[in-house]
Structure 1
Amino acid sequence: MTHIQFTLNFDDLKEKILESSLDDILKSTMVLILNEYMKQEQSDYLNAQSYERSAERRDYRNGYYEREFLMNIGNVPLRVPRTRSGEFHTTAFEKYERSDQSFLLALVEMVVNGVSTRKVTNVVQQLCGESVSKSFVSSLTDKLDPVVEEWADRSLGDIYYPYVFVDAMYIKVREHERVVSKAVYIATAIGEDGKRHVLGFNVDHEENYEAWKDFLSRLTKRGLQAPKMVISDAHEGLRKAIQRVFVGTSWQRCTVHFKRNVLDAMPKKGMQEAKSDFKRIYDAASQSEARNLKDAFIKKYEDNPKLEKAIKTLENGFEDTIQYLAEPHIRHKFIRSTNSLERLNQEVRRRERVIRIFPNNQSAFRLIGSILMDYDVAEQKKKVLYK
C-alpha cells in the first residue's frame, strides 16, 4: 500500500495561531493539511516530485485552481492542483465528506487538545486513510509544540503590567509508569492598556517556594517589570516568592478567599448580623474607612467567645486584603480578588476533564498553552476594563 508523506508550512500556521481566534486556527490548519495532501497526491499520480526529471513521469503539472470548500467551520479557500491532461482528480474532498463530523471533532482535539501521537493518528487517518506514514503523524505534534513554546517565551517588555494575578491548579500526568499530580502555574495581568493578558504558565511538580520563585523569575527575565501589585491567595511559598522577586511590590490577598476564611470560622447558626457587619467592611471605598469598619466590628463582638477565632483570623490578614483600596476606585472590583484567573482555571479544567490523565508533561503544556493563547487573543479584542 502506498504511503503518503508530506510536510506543512507551519510558519503560516504559527502566524494564524498567534493572531487569530480558535475558528481561524481550525480553518488555517484545514487549509494547510488539505492543500499539502492534494499536492502530494498529485506527485504520486505523476510519478515525479516538483522539478524532478523522471522517465516514469506520466503527466505534467499545470498550476492550480481556487475552490471554496464548505465545512462545518465555514468556507475554506483551497488551491487544487491540475495536470496538463486534466486526468488527475484529488480524493481529498471525497475522504473529508465521508467523515465530516468525526473529522472535525478530531481536528479540534488535535489543535487544542492534542495529547498523544495515537490521538493525532486518528485525526490524520480520517483524512488520508491508513496509508499515512507514522513519521508524518509524529511531525504534526512535534511542529505544533514550538508554536506554543514561542508564545510562552515571548517578550513581556512591550507594555507595563501594574496588576499581576497568580494562581496554581493541579492536573494528573503519567510519569515513569505512574500517575502523579503536577502543579500548573498561571500568571495573568491587567496592563496599562486596561486589558487582561496572559503572562505565562508552567507545569511543575508541586506548589512550593522554590517553584514559585523560579516561575516569577522567568517572567522578569522575559521583560516583566515589577508590578504595583500582585494579587493571589495566601499560599506561604507564593507570598514569600512574591516578596523576593518583586521588591517594593504590594501584595493583595484575594478578598474572596479571605472572606471565606473568616466566615468559615464563625458558627453556622445565629450569626446573620455578625456576618452582615463583617461583609460591610469590604464595601468601603478607602483604606481608612475599611479600618474604621473593622475596628467597629471587633469592638462590637470581641466579648463573644463564639467569634474569637473569626476575629483573630480577621486581625491577622486584614491589612493584606485592603491594598487594592489605595488604587483608583474604578479599578477596585478588578483587582481585589483572583476571580478572573479562577474563571480561566475553570475553562482549563473543563478541557482537561476530557483528557483526565496526560500521557506526559509536553502534552499538558500543549493543551494548556493552546487554551491560554486562545483566551489571550480573545481578551485583546474586548473593550478596555477601565480608562
Structure 2
Amino acid sequence: MPARVSPTEAVRAEVDGLFGSGRDVGEILEEVVRLSARLVLQQVLEEEVASWLGRDWNCRTAGERAGQRNGFSDLAVKSTAGPISLKRPELRNTAEAFASQLLGKGVVRSEPLEALVISGWVRGLSDRGIEALLTEALGPEAALSRSTASRICARLRDDFEAFRSRDLSDVELDYLFLDGSHLRMHDGSRAEPVLVAYGVTTVGQPVLLAVEPGGRESHDAWAGFLDDLTARGLRPPLSVISDGAAGLIGAVETHMASALRQRCLIHRCRNILAKVPAERSDELKEAFWAIFALPEDIEAGTQAVAAAQANIDAFARRHEREFPAAVKCLLADRRALTAYLRFPVEHWRRIRHTNLIERTFGETRRRVKTIGRLPGEASCLTLVWAVLDRASQRWRGLTYTPAIARHLAELRHRLHQPTHTDHEPLAAVTQAAQHHHPNLRPTPPLHQT
C-alpha cells in the first residue's frame, strides 16, 4: 500500500477500478457488494479510532487522548457475499486501552452484509443511521458510538452542501449536459424529479455541476435550476445536450440562447420506436442510426449537417406512408438532432446523447429499489450526489488537439460574440419541442458555423 494512504482510500481505489473496468453492472454486482461492504466497515473502523484519539488520519496535532496510530493488522469478516478483508487500526503509547465497538467482545457472528451496504447509502445519512445499521447487521454488541456515526453523517452532508454552493466562475464549458430522473422520496408519494447538470470543460475534462430537486420537470423548475448555475458564475457553453422535455427546452432557450441545443439521439430513437410495431422496431432503429452514419471524410460543420438533414428527409420519404407517427416524431425539432455535427468529429459520439447521466441514474434507482424508498429529500439528493460524484471521477474526458481547440474557439466567437447577421439564436436554430410538423418539407438553409 502506498505511504500515507489510508485503507479506506485504498478500498475506494479498488471500487473505482471495478467500475472503470468496462464490465456490465450485473456481472460485477457480487464484487460491488463485497467491496462496498468492505468500504463501509473500513471507514467505520478508522472513524472509531479518529473519534477516540480526537484527531483524523495523518493529523499531527495533539488530540483528546495520548497515543499514536501503529499501523494495521489484518482482519477477515465472514458474510454471505464471501469473506471481507479489513485492516484493523492498531495504537501505541496510549494511557488506556482502546476497544472497538464494532469488533468488540461478544461479536461472534456476522449477519448478511448486503443489507448493510445497500441501506447504508441512505440510512447512514442520518445521525443515528450508522449506529442502527450496524446493530441490525451485527447484533446489539456491535453498537457504534453516536459521535462516530455523527462524524460520518456530518461529513457526507457537509460535502454535499459545499458541492451545491461552490463557485463556478472559473469553470468554462464547451458542452453542458442536462437530465432529470424521477425518484420516490417520501412514503406513499409520487416519484419526484432530481435535476442534474454536468459538463465538459474547454480542456476536455468532465465536471459534475449540480444536483437539485425539481418538484416537477417544468419550465419553472429548469429555469430555477439554470438560474442557480448562472448565479454561481457559470457562463454559457457552446452546446447544451438534453432530452426533449418541453419545459427543459424552453428554459434552455431562454437562459442559454447563445448556445446550440442538441437533442439526445438515444431519447429521440426511443420516441420513434414507441410509435412502430414491436416486430419492426429493429428495422426502424437501424434506419434511424443510419441517418447519422456519415462518410469518414466529411467535414464538421455545414457539410455534415446538410448530409444528415438530407438523410432525415430520405428516412421520412421511405417511411411516411407506413409509419406517419414515427416520421412526424423525427421531423419535430429536427435541427436539434444535428447540432452536434458542427463540432469536432472526434467529439461527435460523446456529445449527441445524455446517456452518461442516465446510466448512473439507473444505478441510483437500483439501489433505491433495493432499499424500498428514500427517507426524504435531503437523503435522496445526497444519495444521488454521492453516486454521481463517485461516477464522475471515472468519466472519460474528450480529446483536445490544437486543431480541435481552434475549431471550438472559432465557434465560441461566432456564437457568443457574433459580429455578423447570419448567426441564428438558439430558439431559431431549433423548432420548439412541443411543435410537431405533420408534413414533409425541404430542409431549410443551414448557416455556416
Do the aligned partners of residues 228 and 100 (structure 1) sit closer, same or farther apart at CA in structure 2, a change above 3 Å counting?
Answer: farther
How far is 1:329 from its partner? 0.8
Q: Which residue of 2 aligns with 1:356?
A: 372
Q: Which residue of 1 aligns with 2:68?
A: 64
The reply to whether residue 211 of structure 1 matches residue 211 of structure 2 is no
The answer to which structure, 1 or 2, has the higher relative contact order (CA under 8 A, 6+ apart) is: 1
The reply to whether residue 166 of structure 1 matches residue 166 of structure 2 is no
Do the aligned partners of residues 148 and 25 (structure 1) sit closer, same or farther apart at CA in structure 2, a change above 3 Å counting?
Answer: farther
Gaps of at least 5 residues in structure 1 are 1-12, 41-49, 52-60
Q: Which residue of 1 aligns with 2:399?
A: 386
Tell me, in whole angstroms, the C-alpha distance in 1 between the residues paired with 2:159 and 2:97.
Answer: 33
Tell me, in whole angstroms, the C-alpha distance in 1 between the residues paired with 2:132 and 2:284.
Answer: 59
The reply to whether residue 34 of structure 1 matches residue 42 of structure 2 is no
Q: Which residue of 2 aligns with 1:315?
A: 331
User: Which of 167, 180, 199 lines up with 1:155 in the alignment?
Assistant: 167
Do the aligned partners of residues 356 and 274 (structure 1) sit closer, same or farther apart at CA in structure 2, a change above 3 Å counting?
Answer: closer
Tell me, in whole angstroms, the C-alpha distance in 1 between the residues paired with 2:368 and 2:168.
Answer: 27
Conservation of the 8 A alpha-carbon contact between 2:67 and 2:91:
no
Do the aligned partners of residues 235 and 128 (structure 1) sit closer, same or farther apart at CA in structure 2, a change above 3 Å counting?
Answer: same
- SS of the residue aligned with 2:393? helix
The reply to whether residue 190 of structure 1 matches residue 200 of structure 2 is yes
User: Which of 292, 297, 300 lines up with 2:310 in the alignment?
Assistant: 292
Superposition pairs of residues 125-274 of structure 1, within 5 angstroms: 125=135, 129=141, 137-138=149-150, 140-174=152-186, 178-268=188-278
Q: How many residue pairs end up in the alignment? A: 345
How far is 1:243 from its partner? 1.0
How far is 1:276 from its partner? 4.8
User: Which of 336, 341, 344 lines up with 2:352 in the alignment?
Assistant: 336
How far is 1:79 from its partner? 3.7
How far is 1:321 from its partner? 0.6
Conservation of the 8 A alpha-carbon contact between 1:38 and 1:81:
no
Conservation of the 8 A alpha-carbon contact between 1:161 and 1:189:
yes
- SS of the residue aligned with 1:378? coil
Tell me, in whole angstroms, the C-alpha distance in 1 between the residues paired with 2:290 and 2:364.
Answer: 33
How far is 1:94 from its partner? 4.7
Tell me, in whole angstroms, the C-alpha distance in 2 between the residues paired with 1:245 and 1:130.
Answer: 53
CA RMSD of aligned residues (A): 3.8
Conservation of the 8 A alpha-carbon contact between 1:230 and 1:249:
yes
Do the aligned partners of residues 266 and 321 (structure 1) sit closer, same or farther apart at CA in structure 2, a change above 3 Å counting?
Answer: same
Do the aligned partners of residues 327 and 99 (structure 1) sit closer, same or farther apart at CA in structure 2, a change above 3 Å counting?
Answer: farther
Q: Which residue of 2 aligns with 1:43?
A: none
Provide Cα deviations, 1:120-147, integer angstroms capped at 9, x if missing partner: 2224656994776657655642453112
Tell me, in whole angstroms, the C-alpha distance in 1 between the residues paired with 2:156 and 2:283.
Answer: 56
Tell me, in whole angstroms, the C-alpha distance in 2 between the residues paired with 1:94 and 1:279.
Answer: 56
User: Letter of the aligned partner of 1:98 in structure 2?
Assistant: V
- SS of the residue aligned with 1:159? coil
User: Letter of the aligned partner of 1:375 in structure 2?
Assistant: A
Computing the radius of gyration from Cα coordinates, the structure with the larger value is: 1
Tell me, in whole angstroms, the C-alpha distance in 1 between the residues paired with 2:278 and 2:103.
Answer: 65
- Higher mean C-alpha deviation, range 275-284 or range 350-359: 275-284
Greater share of strand: 1
Give the alignment's TM-score, normalised by structure 2: 0.65
Q: Which residue of 2 aligns with 1:90?
A: 98
Give the alignment's TM-score, normalised by structure 1: 0.74
Q: Identity percentage over the alignment?
A: 24
Greater share of helix: 1
